Structure 1
């Protein structure tokens, strides 16, 4: 399979070329990158997790510079060979070709890249289109992120390439915003009374309920009447 695309970055070609030599910038451009080290003889070793479709797995990647020269127009050109292997899933082997070209003026660079890749192992049993789409999404994400990281380093973009993931809020946390949103304003005719199950759970007081002290006074009054009647009859 073959993937190709191009993008523009508002920095001079020498600056962009230097950025491709910076391991810290390259690692920051890879999402879910666990390690990225440079070995002897221009070889690189990466451990990276790809969370996309049929390529979802943890990969051990080896890459090395196959060639570095100018293209037909004398523009800087680099070719990298790579092999990415995942246990139980197979491997992807191929090449990446990069060409850096001045865009409009010397203060901007056009990055053109081509990726060739072939699958081996269980990956070959999957539809080629699925693998190609996942690889394209992952590759495009890397180059977009690389441009954002490099621009941020030179003060041309916010110092955060990826937007922060939305914070999850679980129901049992009962955040204040959720509590306020779930409170319903009571209709004016209820006068602040409870509604629904809350109203049924409380003892009701009717409008004509007699207080306890009134009952006690009536009992005492009746007792006095009975005592007076008995005294009169006995007298």
Structure 2
């Protein structure tokens, strides 16, 4: 399976690159992620539970970062075993391009799956992969992008809490 795309992240490229290397941020963004343990600057172990159609699988995997080019991008590769359900392995090339105050994250993914999960069919697997990528980028953008600013609410007036009838009577 191959997939590529782009995502605009409302944060500077250096911030996006740092977040892509932060195991706590990744744990919050990866759908079904139970844990990520950083083993070294370029290796992590992860536990992820996913549902692909009728099959639910728990994967134990290893993730490796290579071709590091801060803050421009890197290559991420990984492999995971889901026991009797099967396995998954693959990689992604990630390029970060500044776009004013934001960053365009371009990715190209190549993945291979095998075992029972591969028998579900490429349409179901491709659809699930696209859905998971969408969930990841949505969460990533929320965490890394600008946080909502508090809104100043108007202060209550003397007639607040009196209901419409009380306000009508006090205005006469």
Shorter-chain TM-score above 0.5: yes
Q: Sort the Cα spacing of 1:58 and 1:25 in 2 relative to 1 into closer, same or farther, 3 A.
A: same
> Is the Cα–Cα contact under 8 Å of residues 92 and 119 in structure 1 kept in the other structure?
yes
- Who is 2:43 aligned against? 43
What do you get for the CA RMSD once the two structures are aligned?
2.1
> Is the Cα–Cα contact under 8 Å of residues 148 and 157 in structure 1 kept in the other structure?
no
**Relative contact order (alpha carbons < 8 A, sep ≥ 6): 1 or 2 greater?**
2
After TM superposition, the score normalised by the length of structure 2 is: 0.78
Alpha-carbon distance in 1 for matches of 2:133, 2:111 = 12
Q: In terms of Rg, which structure is larger?
A: 1
1:117-172 deviation digits (Å, cap 9, x = unpaired): 01122233231221111112112211221111112xx52479xxxxxxxxxxxxxx
Could you tell me which of 94, 108, 133 is aligned with 2:102?
108
Q: Unpaired segments of 5 or more residues in structure 2?
A: 151-172
Alpha-carbon distance in 2 for matches of 1:98, 1:23 = 17
Could you tell me which of 76, 80, 89 is aligned with 1:80?
76
Q: Unpaired segments of 5 or more residues in structure 1?
A: 159-235
After TM superposition, the score normalised by the length of structure 1 is: 0.58
1:177-218 deviation digits (Å, cap 9, x = unpaired): xxxxxxxxxxxxxxxxxxxxxxxxxxxxxxxxxxxxxxxxxx
- Who is 1:119 aligned against? 113
> Is the Cα–Cα contact under 8 Å of residues 54 and 134 in structure 1 kept in the other structure?
no
